[in-house]
Structure 1
Amino acid sequence: MSEYLECFKAYDIRGRVPDQLDEDLAYRIGRAYATALEPADVAVGHDIRLTSPQISDALARGLQDGGVNVHDIGLCGTEEVYFATFHYRLDGGIMVTASHNPRDYNGMKLVRAEARPISGDSGLDEIERLAAGEPQPPVERRGTRQDLDHRDAYVEHLLGYLADEALMPLRIVVNAGNGGAGVVIDALEPHLPFRFERLHHDPDGTFPNGVPNPLLEENRAVTAERVRASGADFGVAWDGDFDRCFFFDEQGRFIEGYYIVGLLAEAFLRKHGGERIVHDPRLTWNTIDLCREFGGVAIESKTGHAFIKERMRREDALYGGEMSAHHYFRGFSYCDSGMIPWLLVAELIGRTGKPLSQLVDERIDRFPASGEINRRLADPATVIAAIERDYGVDAVRVDHTDGVSIELSDWRFNLRMSNTEPVVRLNVESRGDRTLMEEKTAELLGRLDAFPAAE
């Protein structure tokens, strides 16, 4: 077997089944994890993909043959593996999932104790090296495997973020995309005053309604239409392993993740003023403004879950958010959750008495933003350097936390390159001037389009 395994990425494992990831490799990964981390007890769970139970079983056998006691939580979301790992004080956790990738893919997300992420520079490279090497013999004492019934404790934890007196009897459209979120909604329902309008609710690894990925515009219409038809207060859609959630207001309008970060910062700071809030550098002014208004401290971090989680731990931040719909919580061991955000938004609607559209429009009016726009370019680094030379001259502030952020008095932008493909990503915002934001977005796109495109 090659020393390089194509399914190993910078932060997780993802590949086509069976040519890039199969049961044999899953076993090897389990055995390698056991050798590299030497854990005693590890949580294992899997998503709804048809290949996930077999991949999960092979992974568990590898862990057991490495002397690890496997605590099997079965069909679940990624955050439930995180929860089981930190709540039961286990030594690690592995989730078998390919999230929103095509149906013939599968993969794994790995954490160590306290649900700390394992990425290329924190153990994943070593696991890859061991998995690609010669098979290791079983250890003398084989580990056990037992089911772990975690869900009641997990639901109790989720409910702990809410103040009961602020909750209203809202009608909420919930679109699980035939992933795993529906099971948790059903478990939460008896404890909440909400009426749920269910869409694509039952777990189904054949994906009869398409692979759950609400970031794709063509996947949003069904949720938006149900919100409007049912007169719901808002809608939520999840990806397959529901570590991300996406919002629709009562008019069926899709809400950009940037403004959800601000709403969640507000929701926390209304209850816990003076706390630190971590955000990514792509779009920032709205989050910074809300932190000032509600007595918080905004802290910028490089984009990406490993960077956000590390910075949150260092700062003891209460909440961290990325405009890509990843939201992280100190009370959740600094991990991301796709369930906590919508609960907090529902609470904020009840607390303020304002519909979601009003909460969002107030912020859009103050800080209109372009949303992320991608361009495939032959030499992204050269492009970013050229743009910085041209716009940095008049800048109030130039920052290199992630790509380049250039701030002028009444507008700003961030331009960064993808880690995996020849793509640059542009985000533009202004202070209360939509026309200026749109003009500067068009201007920058014109500059980008003048550079050679990637083949």
Structure 2
Amino acid sequence: MAYSCFKAYDIRGRIPDQLNPDLAERIGRAYVAATGARKVIVGYDIRLSSPEMAEALSRGLMAAGADVYDIGLCGTEQVYFATSHYKMDGGIMVTASHNPKDYNGMKLVREDSKPISNDTGLRDIHDRLDNAFEDAGQPGTYHKLAAEDDYIEHLLGYIDVDSLKPLAITVNAGNGGAGRVIDKLEKRLPFSFIKLQNEPDGNFPNGVPNPILTENRAVTEKAVKANQADMGIAWDGDYDRCFFWDENGRFIEGYYIVGLLADQFLGKQGGGTVIHDPRLVWNTQDLVEKAGGRAVESKTGHAFIKERMRAEDALYGGEMSAHHYFRDFAYCDSGMIPWLLLAERISQSGQTLSSLIDERIDAYPASGEINRTIDHPAAVIKAIEEKYGADAESISHVDGLSVAFRDWRFNLRMSNTEPVVRLNVESRGDKALMEAKTDQLLRELDELNAANVA
């Protein structure tokens, strides 16, 4: 049968009808059958159902003959770290990230924390779930593994701690797991933290942590202003994404953070390759070129970015959706490394975060991602390409449709999961042009949808 909790990149479903302990145990058995893993990291997030789900998953793994190394309550990136650092055969994180509180799920990796998605084994695991599993001749063993201290040491290895200044930083964990890591780092850093919703609480008393939603940003913005902080940071529940506010309480689009981190990393390493997604590109490409690096475009999505990073041996990869990937972090995404790097940049440069960002926003103003519900998205995107393609300097289909002119460009792509198209527009130093073209494209999308183009 088909299990609706299996998605393109991970497992996510409502508890208990779409995902439950019985299914979690079978997923553990199927994971071993599909991967042959013998030593597997298991971690879980702060959701109320997560300990039970992790226990059932571990039972399945051990019944199939794999040894389980339980790192306990953690963030997704700690499973990535532990799998790679301790040279395990794989890792599974029990989490539903920013989904509603009655959901749970899993993110799965194999050796070296290589992602397992539909194209790389997740479909195989799904297809084995209805098999009659036999217990292994020798069941696996259970081990508690204290990975947090090694993880903290690894994080601190990205920065020069002695160069840090006593910054005031507002941090909002959204009652997810990030607060635990901040509490640990606090003892090692000269920063003064203004902590919001810092305690992990699977009841999500302040709503599910998802700072990409504009309605969830006000509390961090106000706290930055009220405390005259040097910057603000917020995370989603499993803290593999981080979001930033400057010292004025202004939310910073993830696109500009990608460019800033690329520039900083290349400066530290003296050049190298940076991977970026195709939605907004000019600012990143400009900064990478100036820093003596090479910018490579990849299809959006963590599995694609990680695969391309490995192929190119890239130092860093960034998506405007607040995912940041690092070669020395097993090419995986971290929500902790980015803010440490930005705090180091502010400390060493003496500049404010706004001054670092303003120049880039002026150079490449961008619309940010705008979603439109469209009945026939593929047909509408084709019609837009026919209209704009003839006069364009370049057209790309790396991910959706990218059309570039001398002074402006746009990317239009379909959602994988809903009848929505996502539009991003940017220009070269001309905010009015960017806004006019954005309005024009949105109007045309609405007109095509109303005309029921199919």
Q: TM-score range by the shorter chain?
A: over 0.9
Aligned to 1:38: 36
Note if contact 2:163-2:348 (Cα within 8 Å) is conserved in structure 1.
yes
Q: How big is each residue's C-alpha offset from its partner over 1:170-216, in whole Å with a ceiling of 9 and x where there is no partner?
A: 11011001110011111111111111110000110001111101011
Amino acid at match of 1:413: F
Q: How does 1:155-234 map to 2 (within 5 A)?
A: 155-234=152-231
Match of 2:361 among 359, 364, 367: 364
- Match of 1:43, SS? strand
Deviates more, 1:112-121 or 1:352-361: 352-361
Q: Note the C-alpha offset of 1:410.
A: 0.5
Alignment partners' CA distance in 2, 1:75 and 1:141: 28
Aligned to 2:124: 126
Structure 1: gaps (5+ residues): none
Alignment partners' CA distance in 2, 1:246 and 1:432: 24
Amino acid at match of 2:11: I
Alignment partners' CA distance in 1, 2:161 and 2:9: 37
Q: How does 1:22-37 map to 2 (within 5 A)?
A: 22-37=20-35
Alignment partners' CA distance in 1, 2:295 and 2:123: 33
Identity %, equivalent residues: 65
Aligned to 1:82: 80
Note if contact 1:28-1:135 (Cα within 8 Å) is conserved in structure 2.
no
Alignment partners' CA distance in 1, 2:132 and 2:202: 31
Aligned to 2:18: 20
Q: How does 1:205-284 map to 2 (within 5 A)?
A: 205-284=202-281
Deviates more, 1:104-113 or 1:385-394: 385-394
Amino acid at match of 1:450: E
Alignment partners' CA distance in 2, 1:16 and 1:429: 38
Alignment partners' CA distance in 2, 1:218 and 1:73: 33
Match of 2:89 among 83, 88, 91: 91
- Match of 1:393, SS? helix
Match of 1:427 among 411, 414, 424: 424
Note if contact 1:45-1:72 (Cα within 8 Å) is conserved in structure 2.
yes
Alignment partners' CA distance in 2, 1:365 and 1:292: 18
Note if contact 2:380-2:449 (Cα within 8 Å) is conserved in structure 1.
no
Amino acid at match of 2:422: R
Q: Note the C-alpha offset of 1:165.
A: 4.2
Amino acid at match of 1:375: R
Q: How does 1:305-324 map to 2 (within 5 A)?
A: 305-324=302-321
- Match of 1:156, SS? helix
Note if contact 2:173-2:234 (Cα within 8 Å) is conserved in structure 1.
yes
Q: Note the C-alpha offset of 1:392.
A: 1.1
Q: Which runs of 4+ in 1 moved over 6 A?
A: none
Aligned to 2:446: 449
Amino acid at match of 1:84: A
Q: Note the C-alpha offset of 1:134.
A: 3.3
Q: Note the C-alpha offset of 1:452.
A: 2.2
Alignment partners' CA distance in 2, 1:183 and 1:18: 28
Alignment partners' CA distance in 2, 1:266 and 1:122: 32
Alignment partners' CA distance in 2, 1:371 and 1:361: 15
Alignment partners' CA distance in 1, 2:139 and 2:24: 17
Q: How does 1:54-93 map to 2 (within 5 A)?
A: 54-93=52-91
Amino acid at match of 1:426: L
Amino acid at match of 1:50: L
Q: How big is each residue's C-alpha offset from its partner over 1:39-93, in whole Å with a ceiling of 9 and x where there is no partner?
A: 1100000000000000000000000000000000000000000000000000000
- Match of 1:214, SS? coil
- Match of 1:44, SS? strand
Match of 1:113 among 98, 111, 114: 111
Amino acid at match of 2:48: L
Alignment partners' CA distance in 2, 1:452 and 1:281: 24
Amino acid at match of 2:115: P
TM-score (norm 2): 0.98
Alignment partners' CA distance in 1, 2:416 and 2:294: 29
Q: Note the C-alpha offset of 1:164.
A: 2.7
Aligned to 2:331: 334
